[in-house]
Chain A
Amino acid sequence: MKKNSFTEIIKAEMLLFIREPSAFFFTLIFPLLMMLLFSSIWGNDPFPGEFFGYLDFSVGGYMGMVMATGFFMSLTVTMATYREKGILKRFRATPVSPFAILVGQLVSVFAVTVAGVILLLIAGYLLFNLQFFGNIFEFILAFLLSSASIAALGFIPASLAPTARSGVVLANTMYFPMLFLSGATLPRSMLPQFLQDVSQVFPLTHAISLMQKVWLGEHIWDSPVHIAVLSGFILAGLFVSVKFFKWE
């Protein structure tokens, strides 16, 4: 191939993301606004008897929110639209491997997620003196594992939804309960015990919990359950996507 088609695909996908105002807002701006809102209510002074404050504890939740928005809302709607309008079909009629399109999607959404997280970190640091207490490599590992798990789960509705409209419905049904129960918006400790138990079924709960713990200085290997659940969702998501993915 003359130029690298993979980088061209990613370039195009990034352009398209920037030109889609709602995806742009909900992935990059909305979590930031939520973080700013709640941080200005609670501040980030250390809790009594603790070394960390509200935002130090919650920033993992907001990161999870960025991830879930990117890999659920953006990915599902984009893939469903691509399927509905025959865009996947159009790519499949070219020599480029159709999987390059799928990987290009995932990479683009991941890049946007990273951008959203960096925005959170900069704002948190500048406005609320956000501090990091963990090991940076372990945190990156936790972040990657979480992203992969959410991406794998997000790919299930993305594989199945035949139209953009059904994609939105499918993604929303999974996204909103997850968002409110997993600790992305409200700390889970504020939920009744019953809902805390229910929330264990969401990978986002484990992703946020793992990122929060590692952020505050725990070692990643001290959370084997989170790691196992997240890995399990990666496998399950891959299995369902490979088995049920539709090009048109």
Chain B
Amino acid sequence: MGETVVTVQDLAKHYKDVKAVDGISFTVKRGEIFGIVGPNGAGKTTTIECIAGMRSPDNGLVNVLGLHPTNDSALLKQRIGLQQQESEIPDRLKLKEAMLLFSSFYEDVLDYKELLTQLNLWEKKDAYFSTLSGGQKKRFFVAMALIGNPDVLFLDELTSGLDPQARRSIWKLVKSLREQGRTIVLSTHYMDEAEKLCDRVAVIDRGKIAALDSPANLILSHGGHTRVLFDVEEDFDHQFLSGIPGVESVQRENDSCSLEVSIRSAIVEIVKGLDSADNGLDSFRIEAPDLEDVFLNITGREVRD
């Protein structure tokens, strides 16, 4: 950790009248999993394309591994792996054939047998690409992005369209890649994915960075209060709850209570109070804020609206 491998400064790119990316700056350190999150159309893909040398930015500086993305494109592409959305290989190419083909493009290659075995695809080596399931295809995309033994891996919306189980297996995979010392820049519109996977997250909205920090810090500073919810009997007197330090608000609607707390210790006091009143504990639940709340609080909009 420590060494900066990706530097982006004032990156801007527009298509006709639309400012897809509007002045974005960040750095990524070696060994980091860096997330670019935001709704569809926020500028995530364009950002990745500019960093990986697929597009020339209108403005701004980008440096990856000391190289200029478009001027040193051939050199850079030897050292990065890039998987874009809607970017496949021919249907009737077998996995093994595709691996051999892609191996021939790179100077330093990984052993495709080991790679496919690692990704749980070895028994599919003689299958046509088109016969793979959604999750298998995504895993194979990772294999193709890895075959050139890249220092930095760019994964654009890799898990979109996958079922939760397949997504979790991809998360495990991405984490294991970081253990190998690779740097990973990924984009996603799944906030839970960014929260579980990324060391740091840039929240992008309308081409600009709205916030950038670790998921925990983002939730702490922008997530809002933790909510405590429980149901009580009608004669329950909820007045004492407001007196507990750290309880910011109490709402009662018939038999359901909803509290906002700003410090964790308040939860203990609430539980104690409910215990002695012998009320509410059966339905007691805590809702911690997540990155979805962060996005909502920063931009005033839902991620998917």
Contacts and interface: CB of A to CB of B under 8 A. Distances in A.
Contacts of A86: 84-88
Contacts, number: 79
B104 A89 contact: no
A1 B105 contact: yes
5 contacts: A2-B106, A2-B107, A5-B105, A90-B84, A94-B105
Q: Please list the 5 inter-chain residue pairs (A to B) with the smallest Cβ-Cβ separation, ordered nearest first.
A: A86-B87, A8-B104, A95-B77, A93-B82, A5-B104
B247 interface: no
A119 to B, nearest CB: 23
A96 B90 contact: no
A88 B103 CA distance: 17
B5 interface: no
Nearest to B108: A2
Given A2-B107, A8-B104, A12-B101, A19 B92 contact: yes
A9 B101 contact: yes
Given A92-B54, A94-B106, A8 B101 contact: yes
B102 interface: yes
A4 B52 contact: no
B78 A93 contact: no
B87 A89 contact: yes
A72 to B, nearest CB: 20
A167 to B, nearest CB: 15
Contacts of A111: none
Nearest to A81: B90
B97 A15 contact: yes
A222 interface: no
Interface secondary structure of B, over-half rule: loop
A165 interface: no
B100 interface: yes
Q: Max chain B CB contacts within 10 Å: which of A4, A9, A15, A97?
A: A15
Interface in B190-235: none
Interface in A1-52: 1-5, 8-9, 11-12, 15-16, 19-20
Contacts of A15: 92-93, 97
Interface residues of A, number: 26
A11 B100 CA distance: 11
Contact of B74 (A19, A82, A95): A95
B89 interface: yes
A90 B100 contact: no
A246 interface: no
Identify the interface centre among B77, B83, B148: most chain A CB within 10 Å of its CB.
Answer: B77
B109 interface: yes
A182 B102 CA distance: 41
Contact of B104 (A4, A19, A81, A90): A4
A87 interface: yes
B222 to A, nearest CB: 34
Given A8-B101, A86-B87, A16 B148 contact: no
Give the most central of A11, A19, A94: most B CB within 10 Å.
A94
A2 B99 CA distance: 13
B90 A2 contact: no
Interface string A160-198: 000000000000000000000000000000000000000
Contacts of B93: 12, 15-16
A16 B107 contact: no
A92 B70 CA distance: 12
A77 to B, nearest CB: 12
Contacts of A16: 90, 92-93
Given A12-B93, A95-B77, A95-B148, A85 B88 contact: yes
A94 B77 contact: yes
Contact of A1 (B86, B88, B104): B104
